[in-house]
Amino acid sequence: MTKRIVAYRRIKPHHLEALRRDFHVDHFAELDSADDPAFRQAMAEAHGLIGAGIGVTPALLDASPQLEAIATISVGYDNYPVEELTRRGILLCNTPDVLTETTADTGFLLIMAAARRAIELAELVKRGDWQASIDERHFGCDVHGKTLGMIGFGRIGAAVARRGALGFGMQVLYANASPKPALEAEFGAQRRELDELLAESDFVCVTVPLTAETEHLIGAHEFSQMKPSAIFVNIARGKVVDESALIAALEKGQIRAAGLDVFEQEPLSPESPLPHMTNVVALPHIGSATHETRDAMAQRAVDNITLALKGEHPVSLVNEAAWAKRRG
């Protein structure tokens, strides 16, 4: 029997072709919601699901009785009910590693753009308002030699910090559940309690995954601990930050500026004050959005689902317990 895969959102033809060599594939290029009737119908027979962005609920799983594996084209898996998937013996695979460097580049892009006011000043040029030499009203602040505080020190956090330490001579502090002695030895990173890190850092960059413990990890108290000259950068998930507290901190001048790739609600509402603030650089969640990296992520997801549906261990499996359950 040929197994069936439901693929959704934009997946390139060569990836679909690779899947079609082994499986029957139903592709939903413009899927808006998991409630789409044709999608639901395909899921009723599907053994595998590949895509990114659709919230997988227990109701969808109930409607997908054959499902063996899900391959998300993302490293983050906060919109999947991992325990529920494990309980049902459904493998959840993600795409770590291949997006680490690109996402770290985005972190540094935000650090640089916010510090040097690049977007605000590029807009000034575009408007034709560059009429005399730029004076101190438009000066930014240095990045090199400053203190970079990383909240979360996993693969992406370490890659941002490495850029700061080795490229820009920054002192790196980190707040993380576990110590990272190898990174301390590699570029002199120092572990701190969160409040200490906030008080000492010139740049505070968040890279923790979104979990029940990290939701609103950064709120009014945390902003009040930061230097008034601090620049806050979030490349993790919007919900890690209490966005109204961030807006208040920016309005009050409690911090200097923010560089944001992620928001509590995405797409960000045009009503949000954030993109209208001159000291905010707001990007539309482009952390991993380069041709090369998105292609590598899709390839990893194709490899994951192919291996999983052939009964082999996927390259990147989130819930090992589900693998044990399927084997046992």
Q: Which of 237, 256, 294, 300 is catalytic?
A: 237
Q: Does residue 175 contact residue 195 with C-beta atoms inside 8 Å?
A: no
Q: Is 260 in the site for ligand 8YV (CB under 6 A)?
A: no
DSSP string, 78-142: TTS-HHHHHHTT-EEE---STTHHHHHHHHHHHHHHHHHTHHHHHHHHHTT---S---GGG----
| E strands in 216-279 | 231-234, 257-260
Which burial class, exposed, middle or buried, applies to 118 when counting CB atoms under 10 A from its CB (0-12, 13-18, 19+)? middle
Residues 6+ apart with CB under 8 A from 21: none
Q: Which of 123, 266, 292, 320 is catalytic?
A: 266
Q: Which of residues 268-287 bind ligand 8YV (CB under 6 A)?
A: 285, 287
* Site size toward ligand 8YV, by CB under 6 A: 10
Q: Is 74 in the site for ligand 8YV (CB under 6 A)?
A: yes
Q: Is 76 in the site for ligand 8YV (CB under 6 A)?
A: yes
Token pair belonging to 250? 């920016």
* Least distance from ligand 8YV to the Cβ atom of residue 183, Å: 22
* Least distance from ligand 8YV to the Cβ atom of residue 27, Å: 16
* Least distance from ligand 8YV to the Cβ atom of residue 13, Å: 18
Nearer to ligand 8YV, 181 or 284 (CB): 284
Q: Does residue 149 contact residue 200 with C-beta atoms inside 8 Å?
A: yes
Nearer to ligand 8YV, 146 or 237 (CB): 237
The interface mask with ligand 8YV, positions 91-110, x = CB under 6 A, is --------x-----------
Q: Is 238 in the site for ligand 8YV (CB under 6 A)?
A: no
Nearer to ligand 8YV, 140 or 209 (CB): 209
Burial annotation 228-240 (CB, 10 A radius, 16+ → b, else e): eebbbbbbbbbbb
Binding site for ligand 8YV (CB under 6 A): 52-53, 73-76, 99, 285, 287-288
The residues that are catalytic are 237, 266, 285
